[in-house]
């Protein structure tokens, strides 16, 4: 049986970062992953250019049942720490809207940098490896650590976990779970990390797809399917949350950054509010048009501010078909409200298949925010997306991966 100081399950962004940091401290590190390539999610992120972090990272950019949990890790590893690492590898990058940072070339630059760092510090990565069983020391039977074990006596003293895999059996002092969430199933995502947490008695916060398009009900599909392809700036609200970014009508429902952001908060059987003309007083403008364009059909007036196809659709649904001078002030206020306070009732999301992240995960109350170690199981760590910390769209989830991986790497 092969002994390692640190065994990490998941060659993910957080897993590789943790491996590098642990190896820097002289730890003997093994990373196991069932995939045939490392960091598959990094490779496809940001349209292939990897939105690797953001200038504006703070705890306000994250969802969690314990909103303060992420603060410690984020304060240990900042966006400029990652930029410094990229600088060592001469990786060019650029800033986009809202402080988002992307690679100039492609996401493979990030992947190769992480692989090079692993090689530099002698991290061993075993791919195409299936985990068959994991046991902690108190549960280890005769097929694990025993007097007949091949482990040296001093190594036996360090063993806390044994792992049986398709590539052989391993034991370790520290075990780090960096398996990600349920999102992007085509990349091999699974609930392995959550099942493992349950095996060790940790609580799980219910999971759901996040940063995901919302779908139409059957009724709304008939109404709005014709709007597929229309994109516009909008403000989307749900509860106390509001996002003002682009919105996209699709043949299935609503998408675009504003919708993806609000989807992480949205709960089933509830509605979201959408302002299709943010930062504009449509009601006051319509009042002004009554004197300027009194005999013009109101839908033609509205088409001066919104896409004609969208206006015609909404006007047809609400039977708005008269000249503007035939509407009184109360009616105009109602019409403005239709476009600026649209109550949209999603039927569902498009699910984990297209979701960028998983909301929920290992309960952060079970973990130390300073080390990422399970409070009641010495040597067991959870990092990255498997934890109940979910970032907004814009590089925040990668920054959480770097920060949580870095933090665990200082203690494993």
pLDDT digits (tens, 9 = 90+) for 268-299: 999 999 999 999 999 999 999 999 999 999 99
Q: Which residues does the chain have with pLDDT short of 50? A: 141-149
CB-based contact 174:378 (threshold 8 Å): no
* Count of domains observed in the chain: 2
Question: 286 and 146 share a domain?
Answer: no
pLDDT given for residue 245 in this prediction: 97
Exposed, middle or buried by CB within 10 Å (0-12, 13-18, 19+), for 213? Answer: buried
Nearest partner of 191 among 170, 175, 174, 208, judged by Cα? 208
Which two three-digit tokens encode residue 229?
Answer: 């392809």
Which two three-digit tokens encode residue 227?
Answer: 């709007």
d(CA 208, CA 14): 21
Question: 12 and 124 share a domain?
Answer: yes
Instruction: Collect all residues with Cβ–Cβ distance below 8 Å to 304 and sequence separation of at least 6.
Output: none
d(CA 143, CA 145): 7
Which two three-digit tokens encode residue 184?
Answer: 């992007």
d(CA 361, CA 233): 32
pLDDT given for residue 1 in this prediction: 79
Instruction: Answer yes or no: is 151 within a domain.
Output: yes
Q: CA end-to-end span of the chain, whole Å?
A: 20
Q: Which alpha helices (H) appear in 239-323, and where do they start and end?
A: 257-263, 282-292, 298-302, 308-317
Question: 184 and 274 share a domain?
Answer: no
Domain coverage including residue 77:
2-205+361-409
Which two three-digit tokens encode residue 75?
Answer: 């304060």
CATH number of domain containing 248: 2.40.30.10
pLDDT one-digit tens code per residue, 359-369: 999 999 999 99
The neighbour count for residue 280, using CB atoms within 10 Å, is 14
Nearest partner of 115 among 76, 77, 85, 79, judged by Cα? 85
Instruction: Answer yes or no: is 355 within a domain.
Output: no
Question: 201 and 249 share a domain?
Answer: no
d(CA 302, CA 304): 5
Instruction: Answer yes or no: is 354 within a domain.
Output: no
Question: 230 and 371 share a domain?
Answer: no
Phi, psi of 159 (to 5 degrees): -70, 125
Instruction: Answer yes or no: is 41 within a domain.
Output: yes
Distance of CA 256 to the CA centre of its chain: 15
pLDDT given for residue 144 in this prediction: 43
Half-sphere exposure of 314 (CA within 13 A, CB side): 23
Question: 340 and 369 share a domain?
Answer: no
pLDDT given for residue 146 in this prediction: 44
Question: 319 and 374 share a domain?
Answer: no
**Element spanning 53, H or E:** strand 51-54
d(CA 410, CA 399): 17
Integer angstrom CA distances of residue 178 from 8, 139, 330, 387, 405: 7, 22, 57, 9, 8
Instruction: Collect all residues with Cβ–Cβ distance below 8 Å to 32 and sequence separation of at least 6.
Output: 7, 8, 9, 10, 11, 126, 129, 131, 163, 165, 167, 170
Question: 99 and 122 share a domain?
Answer: yes
The neighbour count for residue 258, using CB atoms within 10 Å, is 27
pLDDT given for residue 142 in this prediction: 43
Question: 145 and 259 share a domain?
Answer: no
- For Cα atoms 210, 214, 220, give the angle at the middle one, nearest 5 degrees: 165
Q: What is the DSSP letter of 294?
A: T
pLDDT one-digit tens code per residue, 61-109: 999 999 999 999 999 999 999 999 999 999 999 999 999 999 999 999 9
Exposed, middle or buried by CB within 10 Å (0-12, 13-18, 19+), for 229? Answer: exposed
d(CA 111, CA 39): 7
pLDDT given for residue 184 in this prediction: 77
pLDDT given for residue 155 in this prediction: 54
Distance of CA 106 to the CA centre of its chain: 20
Nearest partner of 244 among 71, 97, 408, 38, judged by Cα? 97
Instruction: Answer yes or no: is 383 within a domain.
Output: yes
Whole-structure pTM value: 0.93
CATH number of domain containing 162: 3.50.50.60
**Percentage helix, strand, coil for the chain under 3-state DSSP, each rounded to 5:** 40, 25, 35
Exposed, middle or buried by CB within 10 Å (0-12, 13-18, 19+), for 371? Answer: middle
Question: 225 and 302 share a domain?
Answer: yes
Question: 167 and 298 share a domain?
Answer: no
Question: 327 and 386 share a domain?
Answer: no
Instruction: Collect all residues with Cβ–Cβ distance below 8 Å to 129 and sequence separation of at least 6.
Output: 32, 33, 34, 165, 166, 167
């Amino acid at each position: 049986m092969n002994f390692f100081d640190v065994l990490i399950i998941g060659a993910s962004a957080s897993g590789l970062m943790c491996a590098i940091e642990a190896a820097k401290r002289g730890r003997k590190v093994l990373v196991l992953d069932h995939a045939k390539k490392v960091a598959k999610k990094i490779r496809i992120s940001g349209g292939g250019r990897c939105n690797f972090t953001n200038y504006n990272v703070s705890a306000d950019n994250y969802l969690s049942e314990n909103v303060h949990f992420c603060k410690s890790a984020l304060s240990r590893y900042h966006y400029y720490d990652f930029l410094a690492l990229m600088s060592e590898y001469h990786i060019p990058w650029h800033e986009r809207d809202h402080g988002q940072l992307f690679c100039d070339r492609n996401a493979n630059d990030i992947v190769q940098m992480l692989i090079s760092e692993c090689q530099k510090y002698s991290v061993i990565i075993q791919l195409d490896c299936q985990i068959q069983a994991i046991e902690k020391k108190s549960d280890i039977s005769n097929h694990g650590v025993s007097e007949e074990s091949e482990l040296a006596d001093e190594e036996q003293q360090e063993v806390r976990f044994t792992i049986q895999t398709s590539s052989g059996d391993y034991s370790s002092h520290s075990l780090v779970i960096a398996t990600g969430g349920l999102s992007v199933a085509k990349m091999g995502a699974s609930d392995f990390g959550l099942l493992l947490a349950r095996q060790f008695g940790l609580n799980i916060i219910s999971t759901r797809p996040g940063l995901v398009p919302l779908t139409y009900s059957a009724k709304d599909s008939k109404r709005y399917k014709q709007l597929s392809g229309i994109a516009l700036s909008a403000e989307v609200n749900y509860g106390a949350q509001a996002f003002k970014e682009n919105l996209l009508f699709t043949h299935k429902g609503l998408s675009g950054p504003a919708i993806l952001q609000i989807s992480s908060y949205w709960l089933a059987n509830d509605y979201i509010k959408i302002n299709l003309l943010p930062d504009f007083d449509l009601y006051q403008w319509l009042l002004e048009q009554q004197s300027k364009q009194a005999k013009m059909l109101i839908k033609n007036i509205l088409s001066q501010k919104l896409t004609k196809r969208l206006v015609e659709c909404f006007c047809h649904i609400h039977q708005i078909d008269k000249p503007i001078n035939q509407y009184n002030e109360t009616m105009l206020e109602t019409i403005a409200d239709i476009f600026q306070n649209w109550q949209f009732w999603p039927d569902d999301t498009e699910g984990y298949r297209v979701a960028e992240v998983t909301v929920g995960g290992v309960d952060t109350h079970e973990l130390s925010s300073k080390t990422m170690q399970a409070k009641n199981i010495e040597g067991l760590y959870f990092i990255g997306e498997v934890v109940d910390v979910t970032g907004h769209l814009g590089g925040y989830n990668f920054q959480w991966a770097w920060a949580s991986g870095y933090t665990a790497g200082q203690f494993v």
